[in-house]
Structure 1
Amino acid sequence: MGNYIVTGGNRGIGYYLTEGLLEGGHAVAVLDRELDGLAPLAARFPGRLWPLLCDVSQEEEVARSVDEAARLLGGLDGAVHNACLCTFAPAGETGEETYRAVLAVNYFGALHLAKSALPHLERTGGALYFTSSGVGVTGFGGIAPYASSKGAIEALAKCLRIELAGRGVGMHLLHPPLTDTRSAAPLPVPKAFFAAPEAVGKGLARRLGKRSFVICHSPAQQFQVRLCYLFPLKMGAMMDRMLRRAAEQGE
């Protein structure tokens, strides 16, 4: 059984990813700015869940938290950057401060985790995981800061994969589908566009040991992500049109 760090594990996909790892017999340290949602898991898995208060946009906080997690867990076998911030507005109506705030959590949070966790992962031959998104490959309307940050994560992961070759540390991208952000979206997003966070998080937890660079929670999602890489502009435009048409029809 392994020892994992999960950032952004208090709610959503990160919560169910954490639950899935715990159910699989692993131990997990969750780094998040809020920890109240983890109480049920702490009660179910005493001694295997370590909630640590941490703002991933702050490099020093991440470094301290990662070292503390490694101490509590007895080493690290995997580190997952799942914490994210997503805003909804047209690019032209979004101020630079919003881009900076989103990048601070999504991109720099990943960078901070990588820099702090890699020395521990090299000792164990562990793996680093960044949660990405298809919109970071294809683009999408109304979420330019988020999509841009995920595009940056895609590039960072590829660079690290090259640099880490031969050092015994795995580098992977997790590609979940849309889940539970409907309430803040600029359009009334149809329910069919979303997957259940529990199915996604636990599906990813079961697949963290895979050697593939891109890891999805299901074969169907793996196929869709492959299409995004092959035809990024076409897939982005098609998904945007589908969303707007479905929203107009009230589906």
Structure 2
Amino acid sequence: MYRKVFASKVFDRKVVLISGGCAGIGRALAERLAQAGARLAILDLDKTELESLVRHLADQHNAEALGLCCDVADAVAVEHAVAQAIEHFGGIDVLINNAGITHRSTFAETELAVFQRVMAVNYFGALHCTKAALSSLIDRNGQIIVLSSLSGFAPLLYRSAYNASKHALHGLFETLRYEIKGSGVNVMLVCPGFTATDLRKNALVGDDSIAHQPPLAMGKVASTQDVAEAIYQGALKRRRLLVLSNVDWRARLLARFFPRLFERVLLPRLSGLKPQPFRRG
């Protein structure tokens, strides 16, 4: 739905940089912020999809958008892409660290390369983008939005590398928030629940290949548009933490205070998988 009547002007002409912006929540955020009048710098690996999205934003939303082909795991590439965005637009007002990948495999069966790849994208990708954009964000009293996950506080079965990367994001950005207190920059961590994206369809498996399996049935799944709208509203209020899930408070309560009950009752449901008995050797 195009939200123009009574629209907020907070993001009008503001420059928003989104990593992983061509699909899923990233694309929905690009469209929502384009509706709000933002100018967009979009990082993604797929050059064809970037060009298509830039055209779509211009045609459908009359939005100024710059597509930058970039692997967020590459610090030098990110520094160059962010510098291009700053040169093109004059600065960055909002950074959305959205790029991410996941996997589905037991810890014992997951090769080291999978852990390294997931951390490289999910954790170091956000670190690289923030390092490169921080000075401009401080100059413009900007905002950093980090896409974490329900697994940032409630672990999901067979996602050890993914869970670890999301915990690492909380450690990094909660520390950064304190360090730049008084700078005018807000840091908002976003923890969506299960969302209808391609993330799980393209999950890695233990040998570092892509599973190419259909999404698992996990009950109610949010649309990317609804998640993007909630993030947009949270950004307007410059919130610090935004938890979006149909099991948010229950998962947090059980995982923290009743871990055994969480493991027995909620963990299998959240993971969409039945735990397999441990076998030696």
TM range (shorter): 0.7 to 0.9
Q: Distance in 1 between matches of 2:43 and 2:202?
A: 24
- Where do 1:174-213 residues align within 5 Å? 174-179=190-195, 180=197, 181-183=199-201, 189-190=216-217, 192-213=219-240
Q: Does 1:58 align with 2:85?
A: no
Equivalent residues of 2:150, 2:243 under 8 A apart: no
The residue aligned with 1:27 is 39
CA RMSD of aligned residues (A): 2.6
Q: Could you tell me how far apart the structure 2 residues matched to 1:199 and 1:14 are?
A: 12
Describe how 1:1-251 pairs up with structure 2 within 5 A.
1=12, 2-35=14-47, 36=49, 38=53, 39-46=55-62, 48-179=64-195, 180=197, 181-183=199-201, 189-190=216-217, 192-216=219-243, 221=245, 224-233=247-256, 234=259, 237=263, 238-243=265-270
CA distance in 1, matches of 2:253, 2:270: 21
Q: Give the match's secondary structure for 1:165.
A: coil
Closer/same/farther in 2, CA of residues 136 and 60 from structure 1, 3 Å limit: same
Task: Answer 1 or 2: which has greater helix percent.
Answer: 1
CA contact (8 A) 2:152 2:191 kept: no
Structure with larger Rg = 2
Letter in 2 for 1:8: G
**Contact 2:157/2:268 (8 A) holds in 1:** no
Structure 1 segments unaligned to the other structure (5+ residues): none
Equivalent pairs counted in the alignment come to 244
1:121 shift after superposition: 0.5
Deviation at 1:16, TM superposition (A): 0.2
Alpha-carbon distance in structure 2 between the residues aligned to 1:146 and 1:33 = 20
Change (3 A) 1:144 1:40: same
TM-score normalised to structure 1 length: 0.87
Distance, in Å, in 1 between the alignment partners of 2:145 and 2:112 is 28
Give the letter for the 1:215 counterpart. L
In the TM superposition, what whole-angstrom CA distance separates every residue of 1:138-181 from its partner, at most 9, and x where no partner exists?
Answer: 11101111111001001111110111111221111012221234
Deviates more, 1:90-99 or 1:225-234: 225-234
Please identify, of 207-216 and 10-19, the stretch whose mean Cα deviation from structure 2 is larger. 207-216
In the alignment, structure 2 segments of 5+ residues that lack a partner are 1-11, 204-212, 275-281
SS of aligned partner of 2:103: coil
Change (3 A) 1:52 1:231: same
Q: Deviations over 1:117-147 (max 9, x none)?
A: 1100011000111100011211110111111
Partners of 2:200 and 2:132 in 1: how far apart? 33
TM-score between the two structures when normalised by the length of structure 2 = 0.78
Partner of 2:206: none
Name the amino acid aligned to 1:153.
Answer: L
Partner-residue secondary structure (3-state), 1:87? coil
Percent identical: 29
2:192 is paired with a residue whose SS is: coil
Deviations 1:15-70 (A, max 9, x none): 00111000111111101111415142243245511111111001111111112112
